[in-house]
Amino acid sequence: MAFDFYMPDIGEGVVEGEIVAWKVKVGDTVELDQPLVEVMTDKATVELPSPRAGKIVAINYQDGAICPVGKILVVIEEAGGSPAASPKPHGHTPVSQHVSAVRSPIASPVMPVKVVEAIEAIEVIEVIDATATSSKVLATPATRRLARQLGVEIGRVPATGKHGRVTTADVNQFQTTGTAMVPARAPTIPSESSLRSARSEPGFLEERIPLRGMRKKIAEAMSRSVHTAAHFTYVEEIDMTELVAVRDRAKSRAADRGVKLNYLPFIIKAVVSSLKKWPQLNASLDESTQEIVRKKYYHIGIAAQGPGGLVVSTVRDADMRSIFDLSREIARLGEAVRTNTATRDDLSGSTFTVSSLGKLGGVLATPIINFPEVAILGVHKIEEKPAVRGGQIVIRHLMNLSISIDHRLADGWDGAMFLQDVKSLLEDPTTMFMEMV
């Protein structure tokens, strides 16, 4: 019998999920708990396993589609059951019912086959055709143009090229064996002007990738933050020389405990200590009640680059952790992001975010606030530079910190004083250690 697999309630507050990628197709036989599909929500990306063993008879939401919680996502004919008609989804056409539209030849100058092959050999682009209905067809614009000229439906052409790309040879072979012949054209050697003409055509040097999955969520979050929070940025130079020495002395002890010690745990400790003095920056705005919510807990977000884009993982209760404990947790979260195994708790609930690119941190940036938080701290690279100390020019380890603040909820004074406190703690680590819990 047919089993309707409904989109599950993946997490608290989740009402829908975006289909990132199907692991199966209609007609496939699946085992119990076999991965079916990757789904992205506002909280995280999860992989849904098959709840039954059987055969896939209908997929109701394609890659990139939004499936509400409680809607039928896929229909599975259970092993040993009798076939049943697949229900029609609401507002979506099942993948199994999609039929590629036949594209009629267009009126355009015919390019000699040899020219097409010469251009294709350049291999400057592979286009993902987001409009293909039966599957994603990889082919260069020249190959697509040839298919249109020959009256060949490119979605039906078996691909033999690199990464499953349809080549001009594939199109010619399919036209010869599968459709009516067209008058042959004498091959010619491509000229430089022919190649230049082809390169100037729209799309030849472009790649089109559907905006979906992680990149789409990042785009939505960044747009919301920029268009909602009133950003302003304050920058300060930090003399990290004393902290560099402290960290160098502590590295061997950290290594004995299996910890790779960097500067981020120290920065987080300084941030937490300063947030306790400036609670307006460890807050959020409840727009439904028009209340500023000051948090008495300190869950520090770490913005870092993951395989699919920018991800903010959360170090919970950072005020209650030691430097070594912070290092371990940061390393654990980083590995979870890199391997796409982070949980919803790992990726949510932060109250203040720190954004750092490490050695690639650059001189200055104006980070975008991790909405609905009030502020975000940008950490930039440490460099040896000349500085004036006691009337003498000396070499010091200098670093810039930049803080972006939502001016609706905090004033410039709050941001400047907060960063000055962070600066004083980092420049004199002994005072930081005195204030640690």
Residue 300's alpha-carbon distances to 12, 117, 367, in angstroms, are 21, 55, 15
Give the residue among 373, 224, 225 at the shortest CA–CA distance from 302: 373
Q: Which residue has the tokens 């975006």?
A: 18
Q: Residue 274 contacts by C-beta under 8 Å, 6 or more apart in sequence?
A: 418, 419, 421, 422, 425
Rounded CA-CA distance 390/392 in Å is 5
Q: Where are the alpha helices (DSSP H) in 83-133?
A: 113-122
- Asked if residues 128 and 209 have their Cβ atoms less than 8 Å apart, the reply is yes
- For the record, the structure tokens of 318 come out as 């950072």
User: How big is the chain, counted in residues?
Assistant: 437
Look-up of token digits 């993946």? 10
At 50, the amino acid letter reads: S
Distance CA(13)–CA(386), nearest Å, equals 52
Q: What ranges make up the beta strands (E) of 203-298? A: 231-239, 283-286, 291-294
Q: Is the dihedral of CA 270, 274, 279, 281 positive or negative?
A: negative
| Of residues 425, 379, 384, 373, the one with CA closest to residue 402 | 379
Residues labelled as active-site residues = 407, 411
Core vs surface per residue 107-127: b (16+ CB within 10 A) or e:
eeeebbbbbbbbbbeeeeeeb
Q: Which two tokens stand for residue 385?
A: 């530079």
Residue 406, classed as helix, strand or coil, is strand
Residue 402 gets the label, from left (phi > 0), alpha (psi -120 to 50) or beta, of beta
107: number of CA atoms within 13 Å, CB side?
0
Residue 423: HSE in the Cβ half-sphere, 13 Å Cα cutoff: 18
Element (H, E) at 209: none
